[in-house]
Amino acid sequence: MSEIEWPWQYSFPPFFTLQPHAETKEKQLSAWTSLVLNYYQTTKQSTLDTREIHSSPLFNNTAIKRKLSPEVVQLILDNLQKSGNATALDKSKQRWLIHWHTLEEWGNIVYTWAQDNGFINSVCTLFELTQGENTVDQEFYGLDTEVILRSLRTLEPQGKAELIIFDDNQGVKFF
């Protein structure tokens, strides 16, 4: 796992308190959104559980003894959902998938890789895509199975791919 480079705001105590001034608040939420995406990309994580936010260094800076409130975390997640970078996994919005590319972008990245590497009209398992030796140098290598699955679903309506589910294996045929 790579080391996260915290932005200067992360050590600034007011960053952990929602600012009342509208313009400042907008900039603060934007900075938090960028930080969350960078954190999840750097750590190659995809799932966030809001019940566990204070055990994560992302929302809890122990060096300055500051924690982000659950309400502000929810605002950030709502912003990420609007931009297509987060998906609620339950109705109570406690579990989330975080993806630093939108699902459509991920789908296009994988499809471009399939085209460039001769996998059109071929079947690949999701394991091959996320853990295979052909994808070690790809950004989607190590990507959470749920994120890759959802991103591949965005290719189906375009006629670029079809998901294949068989026994315990999941795969995709690229067209």
- C-alpha span between 67 and 77 (Å, rounded): 16
Per residue in 88-121, pLDDT (tens digit) is 999 999 999 999 999 999 999 999 999 999 999 9
Please, what is the Cα angle at 19 between 67 and 75, to 5 degrees? Answer: 65
Per residue in 17-72, pLDDT (tens digit) is 999 999 999 999 999 999 999 999 999 999 999 999 999 999 999 999 999 999 99
Q: In whole angstroms, how far apart are CA 21 and each of 16, 71, 98?
A: 15, 17, 28
